[in-house]
Amino acid sequence: MAAPRVCVLRAPGTNCDVETAFAFDSCGGRADRVHLFRLIEQPTLLDDYQILCVPGGFSYGDDIGAGVVFSSQLRGHLGDVVQRFLVSDKLVLGICNGFQTLLKAGVLPDGADSWGKSDRSAADATLTWNDNGKYTARWVHLKVGGSDNIFLRGIEELDLPIAHAEGRLVPRNPQVVENWRAQHQIAIRYAPWAAGADGASHPLNDRWEPNPNGAVDEIAGLSDPSGRVLGLMPHPERFLFATQHPHWTRLKLEGNGAGRKLFQNGIDYFA
């Protein structure tokens, strides 16, 4: 079977597209870094891909808010082709700025059901400034559960790095979170690192709070109801190898990093 094709969609300011494409390629995919302007010129290019990934970075410099301009380009110029992609048996992944873009465009939280709605002022949730009011770059521990998302199959918990200023997920009201729970959409949560077998505290627990941005209900990632769309603030493409973890020697890590599994799951879906 031919390698699944991945469109890593970049825009002015995107800066994580190279390592994201490498992640998919190293898992057996065939990733192309496609500029947004090229896709706007020829929207049907997207029909040739099985996975769409919007990677991290600072699209359009976050000048009027993280992911805002990128999301408006998707809605305004690529509505029909994105709709076709969402209703097909295909996958969508948004990482950090990509998550912000998918949420503000309306791809998340409800996938094809929420895409194309003209009134985004009544959106169920937004990603806004961290509680600490500043850009934060560090590692977090994550618990996976509550969804059947394809990218997260076989993953229960993992460490990943974050790097964002607007990562605090805020729903419109508490009922929105209840609806997400009922539809199995809360895919990833921030959590404390587990103690060691000897009961000793994990070295990172003494340095950092588990929820780095104050996200409601500790939500770090959302799935659509179908399980084929995932958005998350942490960066799985930055933990493809054990040696990328800041405590890889102390924790005796070796081989692949935990982030690689997300990309492998996406590729394996089409095997």
- 210-265: per-residue pLDDT in tens? 999 999 999 999 999 999 999 999 999 999 999 999 989 988 999 999 999 999 99
Q: Is residue 230 assigned to a domain?
A: yes
Tally of structural domains, the chain: 1
* pLDDT tens string 111-134: 988 776 655 445 889 999 999 999
Catalytic annotation present for 235:
yes
Q: Is residue 122 assigned to a domain?
A: no
Return per-residue pLDDT of the chain as tens, 271 residues. 689 999 999 999 999 999 999 999 999 999 999 999 999 999 999 999 999 999 999 998 887 778 899 999 999 899 999 999 999 999 999 999 999 999 999 999 999 887 766 554 458 899 999 999 999 999 999 999 888 999 999 999 999 999 999 999 999 999 999 999 999 999 999 999 876 666 666 666 667 789 999 999 999 999 999 999 999 999 999 999 999 999 899 889 999 999 999 999 999 999 8
Q: Is residue 169 assigned to a domain?
A: yes
Q: Is residue 207 assigned to a domain?
A: yes
Q: Is residue 123 assigned to a domain?
A: no
DSSP string, the chain: -PPPEEEEEE-TTB-SHHHHHHHHHHTT-EEEEEEHHHHHH-GGGGGG-SEEEE--B-GGGGTTSTTHHHHHHHHHHSHHHHHHHHHSS-EEEEETHHHHHHHHHT-TTTGGGTTT-S--TT-SEEEE--TTSS-EEEEEEEEE-S---GGGTT-SEEEEEEEESS-EEEESSHHHHHHHHHTT-EEEEEEPPPPPTTSPPPTTTTT--SSSS--GGGEEEEE-TTSSEEEESS-GGG-SBGGGSTTTTTTT--SB-TTHHHHHHHHHTT-
Q: Is residue 106 assigned to a domain?
A: yes
Q: Which of 7, 27, 53, 96 is catalytic?
A: 96
Catalytic annotation present for 202:
no
Q: Is residue 121 assigned to a domain?
A: no
Residue 139 domain boundaries: 5-115+128-268
Q: Which of 141, 164, 235, 245 is catalytic?
A: 235
Catalytic annotation present for 209:
no
Q: Is residue 13 assigned to a domain?
A: yes
What CATH number does the domain containing 158 carry?
Answer: 3.40.50.880
